[in-house]
Chain A
């Protein structure tokens, strides 16, 4: 049987960081030949309601690299399964599936990269753009006795945000974490960063 000649891909697993989900597997090696792969997925719904049907992945219907960005396929917070098979000419291998189902609520959330800047006495912050699921919980304070800690939710990354109008010569500190509401989780806080406002400019 031709299908049995081509070995099935092995070691399927999903690597997920900041809601970007990459499916990888061990390549099928046929010396001198280019092996292609097809990826399909099913959510919990397909397993329980439609007798385990499978859906072709958005981006990986005949690819030659042993990895697939499945971020666009996983759009609900339920357990997903993936299967991959190899094809070479008219030969196709058996399907391989994940050893463990994948739920996006297990994604690794890194603490956000943050750029702080001053525009005169204005304290400005900018976060990396991590995509539509991400908000940023910003905590900031003036470094002085009994100063108040302030909070601000930044709804998206990739744009400058005014945090505070600083007092001359004062030091201000900031830290932040990401929030991903659809999975009801947040990242660790990043490193605290501080800046000192410029001194009062002398009267001319």
Chain B
């Protein structure tokens, strides 16, 4: 069903179970493509649930934008089934981002130092890798992001 995500004063509901099911359908395939297992992009030091509540909304917005702009868009596959699942996740992320916009418009999505620092860290982990390797790893690490969401 729906999960209530508490991001400081911003509370939104998202189809978490549906997204989890969609990811589980591609997890094995995508994680098998990742040949660089000793590297991580989403590290526990940057976990969403450990972020100051007042900055979670902003940090989460950054994460959504990161996946929408840098990951889903650049993931290439000839496998139609995988492509449909990635499209489904991308469109769900877009739906959440639109809902988050309301919090931003109501000035309850404050961006502070912590959110900026954590997002910069994630971006640098991502940019250390070559482009396609980074995209594949980030997509496989949706596992981690979904767990952060579950704990938030």
Which residues from chain A sit less than 8 Å from chain B, CB to CB? Answer: 43-46, 48-50, 55-56, 58, 72-73, 75-78, 135, 181-182, 184
Contacts and interface: CB of A to CB of B under 8 A. Distances in A.
Contact of A78 (B72, B83, B95): B95
Contacts, number: 63
Contact of B1 (A72, A75, A76, A181): A181
Contact of A75 (B13, B91, B98): B91
B2 A76 contact: no
Smallest CB-CB A-B distances: 6 pairs? A76-B91, A43-B91, A75-B88, A45-B90, A181-B2, A76-B92
Given A45-B91, A76-B95, 8 more contacts: A49-B68, A50-B73, A55-B80, A72-B84, A75-B22, A75-B88, A75-B91, A76-B91
Contact of A43 (B1, B69, B94): B94
Interface string B62-80: 0000001100110000001
A80 B127 CA distance: 32
A45 B2 contact: no
Contacts of B69: 49
B87 interface: yes
Contact of B80 (A48, A50, A56): A56
Interface string B16-57: 001000100000000000000000000000000000000000
Interface residues of B, number: 22
Interface of B: 1-2, 13, 15, 18, 22, 68-69, 72-73, 80, 83-84, 87-88, 90-95, 98
A77 B84 contact: no
A152 B1 CA distance: 17
A184 B13 contact: yes
Contact of B87 (A43, A48, A77): A43
A72 B88 CA distance: 10
Nearest to B2: A181
Contacts of B90: 43, 45-46, 49
Contacts of A56: 80
B1 A45 contact: no
A76 B84 contact: no
A49 B74 CA distance: 10
21 contacts: A43-B87, A43-B94, A44-B94, A45-B87, A45-B90, A45-B94, A50-B73, A55-B83, A55-B84, A55-B87, A58-B84, A72-B84, A75-B22, A75-B88, A75-B91, A76-B15, A76-B91, A78-B98, A181-B13, A181-B15, A182-B1
A4 B27 CA distance: 43
Contact of A73 (B1, B68, B84, B95): B84
